[in-house]
Amino acid sequence: MNYKIMIIEDDPDIAGLLSDHLQRFGFLVYRCKDLKNVIEEFKLETPHLVLLDINLPVYNGFYWCNKIRSISPCPIIFLSARNTDSDQVHAIMNGGDDYITKPFSFEVVTAKISAVLRRTYGEYSSFNADELQCEDCIFSKSKLTLSCHGHMTELSKTEAGVIRVMFQNYPNIVSREELLNEIWDDESFVEENTLNVTISRIRKRLERIGSTLAVKPVRGVGYRIGDSRHEK
């Protein structure tokens, strides 16, 4: 999986060097363009992790950390030349997951990013055991809910089965047969139109919670889920 890292940094040299380094390690990188509207860019890009400077114009990093935390559990690593204990404690208490002081080693930044991603999404994650994320949506397998930026909708068992399979296979196509086999044990007991109706309901739920995800049919094969902004 290619994780997306969002860099919120007002020093273009630091942001550029960080971006180049992280891309060499296979990360997708987005540099925040408008430091007055960080949240709007965060919602549009839905990163897996944020690198956040403290000393920013207009509002500081603590402010933006609180704003992000109010709508998303996305991990946040602070980057700052401020190296006092009180600053680090303040960062963690405001929702930060780690704190790196400037000047820093790019290797250390990469290692800390990888560690936080493992804890959040990977092998050490309790979040990962129950929840699946696809772009801007989180699916809870235990609660049968789908959430996006603070908005949530409850799913039927059938809808949840379709979502789970599609999230697990993203961004690949999922065949109709695979979806039917997952939801029902025997396809012979399923009307041909039942899956179509289920997909239609899922589309409405995604729209209702403001997600950019869309379920698209692939003629003669099945369905693919993906970001509607990238669909032609």
Helices 106-121, 12-24: inter-axial angle, 10-degree rounding: 60
The domain in which residue 41 lies consists of 4-124
Query: Are the beta carbons of 72 and 133 closer than 8 angstroms?
Result: no
67 shares its domain with 147: no
The CATH number of the domain where 209 resides is what?
A: 1.10.10.10
100 shares its domain with 144: no
102 shares its domain with 150: no
- Residues whose CB falls within 8 Å of the CB of residue 46, separated by 6 or more in sequence, listed in order: 4, 135, 136, 212
185 shares its domain with 223: yes
26 shares its domain with 78: yes
61 closest CA partner among 114, 133, 3, 6: 6
102 shares its domain with 166: no
8 strand-pairing partners: 52
pLDDT in tens, the chain (232 residues): 578 999 999 999 999 999 999 999 889 999 999 999 999 999 888 899 999 999 999 899 999 999 998 888 889 999 998 888 888 898 988 889 999 999 889 999 999 999 998 888 765 444 445 778 888 898 988 889 999 888 999 999 889 999 998 988 888 899 988 888 777 744 444 566 888 999 999 999 999 999 999 999 999 899 999 888 765 4
pTM of the predicted model over 0.85:
no
Kindly compute the dihedral angle of the four CA atoms of residues 187, 189, 190, 192, in this order, to the nearest 10 degrees: 90
169 shares its domain with 117: no
14 shares its domain with 82: yes
Counting the structural domains of the chain, the total is 2
The CATH number of the domain where 120 resides is what?
A: 3.40.50.2300
63 shares its domain with 158: no
Domain boundary among 124, 140, 157: 124
Provide φ and ψ at 179, rounded to 5°: -65, -45
DSSP string of 174-229, one letter each residue: EEHHHHHHHH-S-GGGS-TTHHHHHHHHHHHHHHHTT--EEEEEETTTEEEEEEGG
